[in-house]
Amino acid sequence: MRHVLLTGATGLLGRYLMKDLLSRGVKLAVLVRPSRRNNPYVRVEAAMRVWEDQLQRSLPRPKVLCGDIISSDLGLSGPELSWATENCEAVIHNAASLSFVSTGRHSEPWRSNVGGTENVLEFCQQAGIEKFHHVSTAYVAGKRIGRVYENELNVGQEFANPYEESKVEAEEKVRSSRFLKSLTVLRPAIIVGDSNSGLTFTYHNFYAMLQLGCTLVQSMAQKDFTGKTRGDDFKINVDGHERKNLVPVDWVSEAMARIITTPSLHGQTYHLTPRVPVTVRLIRDVMEEVMETYGLTFSGADGVMGIDQEIEQIFLKHMEVYHSYWKDDPEFDSTNTIKALPDLPCPLVDRKMLTHLARVAIQRGFNWRDPKVEASQFQPELVAN
Ligand X SMILES: NC(=O)c1ccc[n+]([C@@H]2O[C@H](COP(=O)([O-])OP(=O)(O)OC[C@H]3O[C@@H](n4cnc5c(N)ncnc54)[C@H](OP(=O)(O)O)[C@@H]3O)[C@@H](O)[C@H]2O)c1
Q: Select the span of 12-20, 56-64, 208-216, 300-308 touching ligand X (CB under 6 A).
A: 12-20
Binding part of the chain for ligand X, among 21-29, 92-100, 154-162, 173-181 by CB under 6 A, reads 92-100
Other CB atoms within 10 A of residue 284 CB = 19
SS3 281: helix
Beta bridge mates, 32? 66
Using CA atoms, how far apart are residues 286 and 294, in angstroms rounded to an integer?
A: 11
CB 226 within 8 A of CB 294: yes
Within 10 angstroms of residue 288's Cβ, the number of other Cβ atoms is 18
Closest distance of CB 329 from ligand X, Å: 12
Q: Please give the residues from 104 up to 133 whose contact with ligand X meets the rule CB under 6 A.
A: 112, 116
Q: Which is nearer to ligand X, 164 or 296 (CB)?
A: 164
Looking only at the bridges linking them, the beta strands covering 235-236 and 147-148 are unpaired
Residue type for position 70:
I
Does residue 301 bind ligand X (CB under 6 A)?
Answer: no
| Closest CB 147 distance from ligand X, rounded Å | 19
Residue 69 burial (CB < 10 Å; 0-12/13-18/19+)?
buried
Which one of 8-16, 320-328, 344-352, 357-365 is the stretch in contact with ligand X (CB under 6 A)?
A: 8-16
Shorter beta-carbon distance to ligand X: residue 88 or 217: 88
CB 39 within 8 A of CB 378: no
Regarding 330 and contact with ligand X (CB under 6 A), the answer is no
Applying CB under 6 A, the span of 10-18, 316-324, 337-345, 374-382 interacting with ligand X comes to 10-18
137 touching ligand X, by CB under 6 A = yes
Candidate ranges 91-99, 256-264, 277-285, 295-303; the one touching ligand X (CB under 6 A):
91-99
**Window 143-182: residues binding ligand X (CB under 6 A):** 167
Counting runs of H as helices and runs of E as strands, what totals does the chain give? 13, 17
Q: Minimal CA–CA distance to 215: which of 356, 108, 316, 357?
A: 316
**334 binds ligand X per the rule CB under 6 A:** no
Amino acid of residue 347 = P
Spatial contact of 30 and 63, defined as CB atoms under 8 Å apart: yes
- Asked if residue 96 binds ligand X (CB under 6 A), the reply is yes
Sole binder of ligand X in the list 62, 142, 162, 188 (CB under 6 A): 188
246 vs 291, beta carbon nearer ligand X: 246
Closer residue to ligand X (CB): 65 or 287: 65
Binding part of the chain for ligand X, among 187-195, 282-290, 300-308, 368-376 by CB under 6 A, reads 187-195
* CA 334/CA 337 separation, integer angstroms: 5
Q: Which of residues 14-33 bind ligand X (CB under 6 A)?
A: 14, 33
Instruction: Give the Å distances, CA to CA, from 6 to 133, 203, 271.
Output: 9, 22, 20
Based on the shown chain and the rule CB under 6 A, indicate whether residue 253 belongs to the binding site for ligand X.
Answer: no
Query: What's the CA gap between 385 and 371, in Å, rounded?
Result: 23
Interface residues toward ligand X, by CB under 6 A? 7-14, 33, 35, 68-70, 94-98, 112, 116, 135, 137, 167, 188, 190-191, 202, 204-205
